[in-house]
Amino acid sequence: MREVNMATKIYIKHLPPVLATKLIEEYKLPTPYKEVLISACVDKKGGFAGVYNLSEKYGIHISYWQFVRYLGVGLEMFYKTHTYLGKDYSEYLKV
């Protein structure tokens, strides 16, 4: 995982769940990426538990590798939108 993606994931995990969900919704990420981010970072379900959570909660049926790929792309989208709006979390880059 890229360093920026890891910092973004840590940042989202440290946010309160309501605020993290609000930011993800506010940034208008497309549908599979939004749900994967919520499942992995807000609900803290990674791997096969995250895949199962997606199928049970949202009706999205994807494989483990698609989950990992969508998580990476979703984290990049979140980071680009977050930094474009002038917000910074550079202290999380030093993990």
Residue 55 belongs to some domain of the structure: yes
Residue 65 belongs to some domain of the structure: yes
CA separation (Å) from 40 to 12, 36, 44, 86? 10, 6, 5, 25
Query: What is the structure's pLDDT at 2?
Result: 82
Residue 49 belongs to some domain of the structure: yes
Check whether 91 has a pLDDT greater than 80. Answer: no
Residue 78 belongs to some domain of the structure: yes
Domain count, the chain: 1
User: Residue 46 sits in which domain range?
Assistant: 3-87
Share of the chain above pLDDT 90, in %: 77
Q: Quick check: helix, strand or coil at residue 57?
A: helix
Query: What is the structure's pLDDT at 18?
Result: 94
Query: What is the structure's pLDDT at 28?
Result: 93
pTM: 0.88
Residue 12 belongs to some domain of the structure: yes
Average of per-residue pLDDT across 81-89: 82
Residue 80 belongs to some domain of the structure: yes
Query: Mean pLDDT score of the chain, rounded to an integer?
Result: 90
